Structure 1
Amino acid sequence: MKKALVFFLLAAVTGAVRAQVFKSAEPLAHTYSIVARDEATGEIGVAVQSHWFSVGTSVSWAEAGVGAVATQSFTNKSFGIRGLALLKKGLDAQQALDSLLATDEGREVRQVAIVDTKGNVAVHTGNKCIDFAGHIKGASFSVQANMMLTNKVPQAMAAAFEKGKGKKLGERMLLALEAAQAAGGDIRGSQSAALIVVPGKSNNEPWNERINDLRVDDHATPLKELRRLYTVQVAYDFMNAGDLAVEKNDMQGAMQAYNTAMHMFPRNLEMQYWTAITLANNKDLKQALPMLQKIFAQDANWKELTRRLPKVNLLSVDDATFKKIMAL
């Protein structure tokens, strides 16, 4: 049934289906997305939302020090990897896009956008993409959409992204997606969303080169869930900053970072726990003990974990203090 449906849709859109060009395996990612480069930091990103399962595995592609690609509508997934490879060879965004489309007989049902590390942007909306379809190319960004409920989506996205100047790139792209949804969004509704941000320069450490890499594969309100995940990640970033401050013996900076994280995610016991352990290790029992007492009362497993920390030097207090903690 699925193959028959895809065949019918492709026939309706293209007029003549060729099996070697249009494949039932190609996802129908009719959607809205943004590719962008942060002019201040050099970071590059891509974000997307669609009424299609796991849109992030089809539409969004990015690599540190290379660029970002969004490939959608009747999606040619190879455009992601091939587009990045062309950028890596030294082509700019427009040259890479031209190369991809030159041999693609399905170009008129494709929608593709590319941004490179210099902020060059290229975008294509085929004339047989389903209305409402269109794009807007701005300074170091492009927004694109197809099968939208209204024709106002690209304008809303561009305005939200530009208004967010000065914020982190991930935040700005989220604002663009949220503006798209507020302007009508996908005519079919919502199902999945994704956000990727990578550094503008690579340190040849690909395992460390995803600033944001978040996906919501199937959800009733994917943008709200993506926003929640983004907020959680930002909170954990503050926790990491607090840990680094502790290593430098900057307790004031550490507590400021920890408190910011806990304020953003107040129900997360783990954030509270490691903050309390850090306080205990720095002999600030006045703050540490009440926090640990509340945590232990909510979940006794944290108390059991505390019992195991001295063995691995993660809790370095004297015997009297340790007994006091375990008596809570």
Structure 2
Amino acid sequence: MKFLFTFCFSIIFSQVVVAQQKPYQDEFAHTFSILARDAETGEMAVGVQSHWFSVGTAVPWAKSGVGVVATQSFVSKRYGYEGIELLEKGYTPEKALNHLLKQDQNKAYRQVAMLNNDGKIAVHTGEKCVESAGHKIGDNFVVQANMMLNDEVIERMYDAYKMNLHLPLAERVMSAMHAAQGTGGDIRGKQSAALVVVSSEKPKNPWDDRIIDLRVDDHQNPIKELDRLLNVHRAYEFMNKGDVAMENQNTEAALDAYGKAEKLLPNNTEMKFWKAVALVNSGDVKKAVPLFERIFSIDKNWQKLLERLPKADLLNIQPQALNYLLEL
């Protein structure tokens, strides 16, 4: 009898242990996210926000010419890392996701979406994801969320993305994230956000893989801050275009690009400084003078920097003209 009791207790206990195997050691990134592909450019993006620290280090995964993945709820980074690997090997998102789900005893707690370079999509919302949880697939995009305040979050994300197809992909994704937060978002609040955009083609250099890679790790209003960073990113894109135009001796195109950058960041002193430097290098010191005057009135350290540029071959100017600028 004692043997039988011990045997039965062992069986019951082992079943309880198995039942208690839950993914509590995994990152607790309950959240909303969107994966999207631009049908014209082929660019792919992941946007995510969560009431969890540094969500951008766990949820979004992306690779140019391959695809994008968002793994959330109780996060298993394996879905991101191996998911991208499988997509690169030619697996469809559905086949890749099913392959990983079969190996995961905690799949009931997972929420994962995958989108490949062809716009094919696969998504899984486990039955143990905290409500409100779900997903919705559109044409070249998918939205997913768990632990939301209400059931409207997913619908509003979906609708907002479709209503803003005229915007660049990154801004389109941001519109969906704003809609999600505006409808209630994460029931716990907000803390971090991330935005990643990759190309439809593999880059020549692997370190140039990401077109946009922005993160807000800890902020009272992470989506608003992510918006600000995206605006800064766009401004520096124009600055880079201006620099290239100057290298090609196209001053008109350069000034146009610099002007667009300044409209996006009117209070950015550094942009004004390098625009003035570019004018000097193009031989137009006269146009650069009023710019330098305003810059130096803000901070004399810019004047010290200007003095150091000729030695680094970043400023092409006669000594007399340089001395004039240094005395402004």
Q: CA RMSD in A?
A: 1.6
Query: Counterpart in 1 of 2:84?
Result: 84
The whole-number CA distance in structure 2 between the counterparts of 1:158 and 1:242 is 36
CA contact (8 A) 2:69 2:80 kept: yes
CA shift, 1:327, in A, is 1.3
- Equivalences for residues 154-193 of structure 1 within 5 A: 154-193=154-193
CA shift, 1:204, in A, is 4.3
Percent sequence identity is 48
**SS of the residue aligned with 2:210?**
coil
The whole-number CA distance in structure 1 between the counterparts of 2:207 and 2:76 is 26
The whole-number CA distance in structure 2 between the counterparts of 1:29 and 1:157 is 19
Q: Which segment drifts farther, 210-219 or 285-294?
A: 285-294
CA shift, 1:310, in A, is 1.3
The whole-number CA distance in structure 2 between the counterparts of 1:39 and 1:57 is 27
2:101 is equivalent to residue 65 of structure 1: no
Query: Counterpart in 2 of 1:320?
Result: 320
Query: Counterpart in 2 of 1:11?
Result: none
Query: Counterpart in 1 of 2:286?
Result: 286
Q: Which segment drifts farther, 100-109 or 178-187?
A: 100-109
The whole-number CA distance in structure 1 between the counterparts of 2:293 and 2:123 is 56
CA shift, 1:317, in A, is 1.6
Structure 1 unaligned runs (5+)? Answer: 1-14
CA shift, 1:77, in A, is 1.5
The verdict on how the C-alpha distance between 1:127 and 1:88 changes in structure 2, with shifts beyond 3 A counting, is: same
The verdict on how the C-alpha distance between 1:199 and 1:16 changes in structure 2, with shifts beyond 3 A counting, is: farther
CA contact (8 A) 2:249 2:282 kept: no
Query: Counterpart in 2 of 1:271?
Result: 271
Query: Counterpart in 1 of 2:39?
Result: 39
CA contact (8 A) 2:65 2:202 kept: yes
The whole-number CA distance in structure 1 between the counterparts of 2:253 and 2:165 is 27
The whole-number CA distance in structure 2 between the counterparts of 1:17 and 1:300 is 68
- Equivalences for residues 123-142 of structure 1 within 5 A: 123-142=123-142
Return the letter of the residue paired with 1:93.
P
CA shift, 1:282, in A, is 1.8
Per-residue CA distance 1:258-304 (angstroms, 9 max, x = gap): 01111111111110000011112223233210110110111111000
Q: Any runs of at least 4 consecutive aligned residues in structure 1 with deviations exceeding 6 A, and if so which?
A: none
Query: Counterpart in 2 of 1:104?
Result: 104
Instruction: Report which of the two structures shows the higher radius of gyration computed on alpha carbons.
Output: 2
**SS of the residue aligned with 2:132?**
coil
**SS of the residue aligned with 1:211?**
strand
Q: Given the two structures, how large is their TM-score scaled by the length of structure 2? A: 0.92
Return the letter of the residue paired with 2:40.
A
**SS of the residue aligned with 1:86?**
helix
Structure 2 unaligned runs (5+)? Answer: 1-14
Q: Given the two structures, how large is their TM-score scaled by the length of structure 1? A: 0.92
**SS of the residue aligned with 2:48?**
strand
The whole-number CA distance in structure 2 between the counterparts of 1:305 and 1:248 is 25
Per-residue CA distance 1:7-29 (angstroms, 9 max, x = gap): xxxxxxxx977599634330111
CA contact (8 A) 2:108 2:128 kept: yes
**SS of the residue aligned with 1:148?**
coil
The whole-number CA distance in structure 1 between the counterparts of 2:191 and 2:174 is 16
Query: Counterpart in 2 of 1:5?
Result: none
CA shift, 1:320, in A, is 2.5
Query: Counterpart in 2 of 1:207?
Result: 207
